[in-house]
Amino acid sequence: MSRAPLPYNPKVLELFRNPKNLGKMEDATVVAVAGNPLCGDMITFYLKITDQDVIEKASFESYGCAANIATSSVVTEMIKGMKIQDAWKIFWKSVAEAVGGLPSVKFHCGILAVGALKRAIRKYYQDKNVAPSWLEKEPTFEEKQALEEEQLADMLAKRMKKEGTQ
Amino acid sequence: MVENVKELLKAHEGITHEVYLDNENSTMVPKEVVDAMLPYYSQQAYGNPTLTHKPGWEAFETIMESAQKISKFLGTKILEEITFTPGETEANNLALMGAAFANKSKGKKIVISEIEPINVLHVTEMLQKFGFTTTKIPVDREGFLNLEKLKETVDKETVLASVSLVNNEIGTIQPIKEALDIVKDTNPETIFHTDASDAYGRIPLNVQDLKVDLATVSSYKILGPRGIGALYIREGVNVDKILEGQIGTQKLWPGVENTPLIVGFTKASELMFQNFEENVAHMRRLRDKLIDGIFGTISDVKLNGPKGEKRVSDNVNISFLRCEGEALTIELSLGGVYVSSGSACSRRLLQPSHVLVAIGRKFDEAHGSILMKVTRYHTDEDINYVLEKIPKAVERIRGITGSTGVE
């Protein structure tokens, strides 16, 4: 239980002030969510995907801190125009690099953003009822982490309820 | 990392007005206080108060006079009952650890409220290693201690009870006299400690009337310098020292006394108690102006802690739903309004403020909380400026949230 100093870098601050691709997308092909409002950290991704499996456009909404907003925004920028198969290969560290680096206590923001992206991709193929050979069956690192964070928050909330404090 | 901070600071250029409301976490020190301290660094009383020369005796005189003044403000005439420590954290550590160790033969149970400050919580956790057990008494939705639960819990084995007079996060003024009577009726031997850091200088406080055994006060919470505080220890109450070293004027805290800080703490106390009624009325008016202004312009907000007389004069704590707290503090900072949040976002633990959780706030309500404390130096103009900035900041952050997390 300590408070870490958070000297956000200029790129994070810039994306916090002027996020790119912000907002709900009405004609999205697929929508995916990661995180949990209970953790104070939640992202929604909207992807518009062409028939050729190319991400035509991406947007996001984020309930979270500056790092959460910046990493979500940067992911939508990175994947615009990308083939889904290439977007799937994005590792959270490249997202952290793209925002100029993150304080260690904020790594999970980058992980959550990529987790949301991978969930969206998985959901897209589930909806289409196809399973490309490159799509790993096991959850990726980021998907596992997102799930773990959500479960932890649920567990804490339940424990609070049990103790009669919530 | 330092380069990053320079850029962050540069982003604040062009701010026309600044209002600092994060007086929970650190404060500015008024010029009068700094001016009172300065001579003690290089002109007088810079000696060690235990040594036999003029600068030493000057320091001794200064420290004793300061202790006398502080003891008077606390409502006791006995200056030996005041022990200076390097702050609230240290005073609370000394109170709990020192009293637990000195009185362990009387029992090993400790009773605290659920909403004690982190340092109290951590000390009691640490004391588990020495065989002490702690029971946390729940509070209601406004932060008031459940007195019935307290009565059920205290027994002959209870060595120590600790309840803050005013909660530092939500401003609840506890019925401390009733709590103390309940404890002492069951077990007159139980030592009763209160962290009075957020009460001192803001509500009338008299340790003799309250009959508490131990009380913590802190300098930085009253616009004094950081690094100094005091523990009131009623005559006859046994407390062990918790640090080893050269003991001087302060029998329970080793090391060379920091005379300039003690002088600053005393000066800050004098300013707090000078025109006490007016200061409190001023803070209370600005507090309510801030609360009413926010409730009048922003939807989906919740006040954390009680309203009116039962809330300490300086505290404003509001949850903004669908608005993450850390993001809001940054947005407000860029507009010259400096506040803190009970959000968990700076921790990997995902747990927001334990105080807000204890009063029944849902996690997402706690994540969107903002804590502000007004001082006698704030003006109507300051509050008007804050009331202009907050709705815009909340609107922008809620715009980023969009429909995310809305059930």
**Concatenated DSSP letters for B247-299?**
--S-TTS-S---HHHHHHHHHHHHHHHTTHHHHHHHHHHHHHHHHHHHHHH-S
Q: Is the pLDDT of residue B83 over 60?
A: yes
Q: What is the pLDDT of residues B331-345, one digit of tens each?
A: 999 999 999 998 765
Residues B348-361, mean pLDDT to the nearest whole number:
83
The minimum CA-CA distance between B368 and chain A, rounded to whole Å, is 8
Pairwise CA distance, residues A39 & A51, whole Å:
36
- CA A58 from chain centre, in angstroms, equals 12
The CATH number of residue A133's host domain is 3.90.1010.10
Query: What is the three-state SS of B133-150?
Result: EEEEECECCCCCECHHHH
CATH class of B32-273: alpha beta
**What is the spatial distance between Cα B195 and Cα B205, in angstroms, rounded to a whole number?**
12
**For all residues of chain B together, what is the average pLDDT?**
95
Report chain B residues whose CB lies below 8 A from the CB of A44: 402-404
Summarize the confidence of residues B276-296 as an average pLDDT: 98
> In B, residues 320-359, which contact A (CB 8 Å cutoff)?
322, 324-327, 330, 334, 343-352, 357-358
Kindly report the three-state secondary structure assignment for every residue of chain A. Answer: CCCCCCCCCHHHHHHHHCCCCECCCCCCCEEEEEEEHHHCEEEEEEEEECCCCEEEEEEEEEECCHHHHHHHHHHHHHHCCCEHHHHHCCCHHHHHHHCCCCCHHHHHHHHHHHHHHHHHHHHHHHHHCCCCCCCCCCCCHHHHHHHHHHHHHHHHHHHHHHCCCC
Q: Which pLDDT score, from 0 to 100, does residue B347 have?
A: 46
Do A49 and A55 contact (CB within 8 A), yes or no?
A: yes
CA distance A41 to B27: 30
**In the annotation, is B345 catalytic?**
yes
- pLDDT of the residue at A103: 86
Using DSSP, state whether B26 is helix, strand or coil.
coil
Q: Quote the pLDDT of residue A162.
A: 66
pLDDT tier at B277, thresholds 50, 70, 90: very high
Cβ of B343 within 8 Å of Cβ of A40? The answer is yes
Domain-embedded: residue A2: no
- Give a yes or no: residue A130 inside a domain: yes
Domain span holding position A81? 10-162
Cβ atoms of residues A63 and B404 within 8 Å: yes
Within a domain: residue A5? no
Kindly report the nearest CA distance between residue A128 and chain B, in angstroms: 25
One-letter amino acid for residue B62 of the chain: T
- List the one residue out of B194, B269, B280 whose CA is nearest residue B225: B269
| List of chain A residues with pLDDT < 70 | 1-2, 161-166
Nearest to B345 among A43, A64, A152 (CB): A64
pLDDT for position A165: 45
Band of the pLDDT at B349, cuts 50, 70, 90? low
Q: Is the pTM of this model over 0.90?
A: yes
- In this prediction, residue B344 carries a pLDDT of 66
**In the prediction, which pLDDT does B214 show?**
98
> Number of A:B CB contacts under 8 A?
130
CATH code of the domain occupying B2-21+276-401: 3.90.1150.10
pLDDT tens per residue, range B230-249: 999 999 999 999 999 999 99
Residue B126 touches chain A, beta carbons under 8 Å: no
Q: Using the beta-carbon criterion (under 8 Å), do A42 and B404 form an inter-chain contact?
A: yes
Please write the tens of the pLDDT for every residue from B146-160: 999 999 999 999 999
Domain ranges of chain B: 2-21+276-401, 32-273
- Which of B8, B352, B360 comes nearest A8 by C-beta? B8
Is residue A1 a part of any domain in this protein? Answer: no
Q: What is the pLDDT of residue B24?
A: 95
Per-residue confidence (pLDDT) for residue A163, from 0 to 100: 59
| Residues from chain B contacting residue A66 (CB–CB below 8 Å) | 326-327, 330
Residue A4 inside a domain? The answer is: no
How many domains does chain A contain in total? 1
Query: Which value, in Å, is the radius of gyration of the alpha carbons in chain A?
Result: 16
- Note the ipTM here: 0.92
- Report chain B residues whose CB lies below 8 A from the CB of A13: 7-8, 11, 330
**Which of A63, A76, A150, A154 would best serve as a mutation to test chain B binding (most B beta carbons within 10 A)?**
A63
- For chain A, say whether B26 makes contact (Cβ under 8 Å): no
- What pLDDT, on the 0 to 100 scale, is given for residue A41? 86
User: Quick one: what percent of chain B has pLDDT higher than 90?
Assistant: 93
Q: Given B34, B247, B256, B345, which residue is catalytic?
A: B345
- Distance, in Å, from the CA atom of A58 to the CA atom of A124, rounded to the nearest integer, reads 13
